[in-house]
Copies of this chain bind each other. A is one copy, B any other.
Amino acid sequence: MQHFNNDDLTEMATRYRVQLINSLSGFKSANLIGTRDKQGNNNLAIFSSVFHLGSSPALVGFIMRPDSVSRHTLDNIQQTKQYTINQVSDDFWRKAHQSSARYLSEQSEFEHVGLTPEFVNNVTAPFVKESRLKYALTVKEITPIELNNTLLIIGEITDVICEETAIKDDGYIDIESLNTVAISGLDSYHTTQRLSRISYAKPDKSPMEIPLNGVNE
């Protein structure tokens, strides 16, 4: 096994370190965040840091650098309070990745990368038509993380739009059947192969495989 200690990490070349550290957290989610400014310009940016925060209320968080290429996403969320999160699937993952290029604020990433904005009642932010699972959020809290000058942005989910066949009897959404991709490191994209669903763990018994459709215990 290779062991990097604190000195090794400190002395490491910057780009090598960025790649290495970005690989440590495991597989990351791949999501496009859609926003719209007050002038009606649509913005789209890929994020690998979207994570589940809680079901009740239904909260999702993501991390951003305020000085980065994705600053338009932040500006628009602050202006309009709304945004959409759109899962990336394997038929448009290259287009999704391309949205991270540094376009100007009046340039729509939708047009540049070849994805289609889609609008739904009461949500001003654009969805990605090509996405098979997507939802709208209202921003609830923007928390500065002073350790590295990033922001944690937390939103509450107001609308969920999903291909019906992927939604199982117990509410689980089979995102593998939607060909949702995962990211590793900064730039590697992956599809998945299910091992199994498995029952809630209890101290006195081994977990059981459960059918994809869920079970009534």
Contacts and interface: CB of A to CB of B under 8 A. Distances in A.
B21 A29 contact: no
Contact of A98 (B51, B173, B176, B206): B206
Count of chain copies: 2
Contact of A175 (B29, B60, B184, B191): B184
B207 A97 contact: yes
Contacts of A190: 176, 192-195
A140 interface: yes
Interface stretch (A36-44, A73-81, A160-168): A160-168
Interface string A154-192: 100111111110011011111110001110111111111
Contacts of A180: 26-27, 184
A211 to B, nearest CB: 11
Interface string A25-55: 1111111000000000000000011111111
A26 B203 contact: no
Contact of A50 (B26, B59, B148): B26
B24 A27 contact: no
A105 B199 CA distance: 23
A214 interface: yes
Contact of A27 (B23, B29, B100): B29
A63 interface: yes
Given A3-B159, A15-B170, A194-B190, A52 B25 contact: yes
A16 B171 contact: yes
B195 A98 contact: no
A152 B144 CA distance: 12
15 contacts: A2-B164, A9-B160, A12-B171, A20-B172, A20-B173, A27-B28, A48-B52, A49-B52, A97-B207, A103-B203, A182-B182, A184-B192, A187-B210, A188-B197, A191-B193
Q: Give 9 closest A-B pairs by Cβ, nearest first.
A: A26-B29, A19-B171, A23-B173, A16-B171, A190-B192, A27-B182, A101-B201, A54-B148, A20-B171
